[in-house]
Amino acid sequence: MSQLAAHPQSTQQQYTSLYTDLMRTVRELGLLRRRKGYYFTRIGLVLTTLAGVGAGVVLLGDSWYQLLLAGALAAVLTQVAFLSHDSAHRQIFHSPAWNDWTARFLAGPIAGMSATWWRHKHNRHHNAPNQVGKDPDVELDVIAFHPDAVAKRGRTGRWIAARQGWLFFPLLTLEGVGLHVSSLRHLLRRGATRLERVEAAVVVSRIGGYVAALYLLLPVGKASAFLGIQLAVFGIWLGASFAPNHKGMPLVPATMKLDFLRRQVLMSRNIRGGVLVDFAMGGLNYQIEHHLFPSMPRPTLKLVRPIVREYCARHDITYTEVGLFTSYRIVVDYLNNVGLRARDPFQCPLVELYRK
């Protein structure tokens, strides 16, 4: 009897081997190599456009047409946030330090957010997507993403939870403010590191300088409207890019262990739509591939997609991909009905899969 037959692989070893084999294929095809030309061009275009919008605000002066520029500024800052996200995942440079400082530069003085806070939060999400008690993106105070969160609420909270799907997108108008507040809360906490204190000074200066400049350039009413529209569009755009990727996908019980391949694929959803959706969502529409290869440059994700899809089909792993508006319908329906979902963990489809 052969050594392999005498000591067959455990299920966990087999699953680990699956991801190892996929990663080997991706490496051999050169799909993890850096795309510096793409990123240098994109960063240059985004910063140039940002400067153009800023100049437009100054030149236009006291006009309600400034509200159009507020929307344009929100769109540009969203692209800045996407680039900071990519750099935080170390997609741009081979050097971790160069990636980290690029992420800090784009997030802090440009977007007014903390790259350190974002990286800490986002890494926890990548390590345990949709896992109760571990993924911070399903443990929010305002929105309930699992039945236990609904059960802890009072009558009013449960009433809101039953309608939170319809409230979700209106609430995203506050997401821009929430990102700035969460950044500052993290940076100004007791025990912050020296680097975080420097980052706090940069973020406070950026936010304060931006608000002051608006109220110096424009009358109070127009400045307030400009600020409100910019923050609202920024929050909706970012939230509408992140929400379709995991909301409404299976939740993982807190104590359940999953292999890496299934953990990332089964809890993620891709969004179809072509070049326009690629641009609008900053490549996050290839969420499955991004979770499997978080350091893969954004433009390469669409190239690896058919490989991952075929690989999942060969190994009977569900690969979920829908259109953009279908994904939003799924998110709204799930959030409206989250309190009605089965609470018995043994009815979870993931548990059933692993019991088999």
**Triad 345, 267, 297: Cα angle to 5°:** 160
Which residues does the chain have with pLDDT short of 50? 1-9, 342-347, 356
Q: Report the C-alpha gap between 235 and 241 in whole angstroms.
A: 10
The answer to the question of residue 198 being in a domain is: yes
CA nearest neighbour of 258 among 132, 121, 89, 88: 132
Q: What is the pLDDT of residues 157-197, one digit of tens each?
A: 888 888 899 999 999 999 999 999 999 999 999 999 999 99
Q: Report the C-alpha gap between 114 and 183 in whole angstroms.
A: 5
The answer to the question of residue 123 being in a domain is: yes
Residue recorded with tokens 């548990």: 351
The answer to the question of residue 1 being in a domain is: no
Tell me the residue range of the domain where 116 lies. Answer: 11-355
The answer to the question of residue 293 being in a domain is: yes
What are the φ/ψ torsions at residue 322 (nearest 5 degrees)?
-135, 175
Under 8 Å between Cβ of 307 and 266: no
Q: What is the pLDDT of residues 149-159, one digit of tens each?
A: 888 888 888 88
Under 8 Å between Cβ of 136 and 156: no
The answer to the question of residue 91 being in a domain is: yes
**Triad 139, 141, 146: Cα angle to 5°:** 45
CA 82, chain centre distance (Å) = 9
Domain count, the chain: 1
- Per-residue confidence (pLDDT) for residue 340, from 0 to 100: 67
Is the pTM higher than 0.75?
yes
The answer to the question of residue 3 being in a domain is: no
The answer to the question of residue 170 being in a domain is: yes
The answer to the question of residue 2 being in a domain is: no
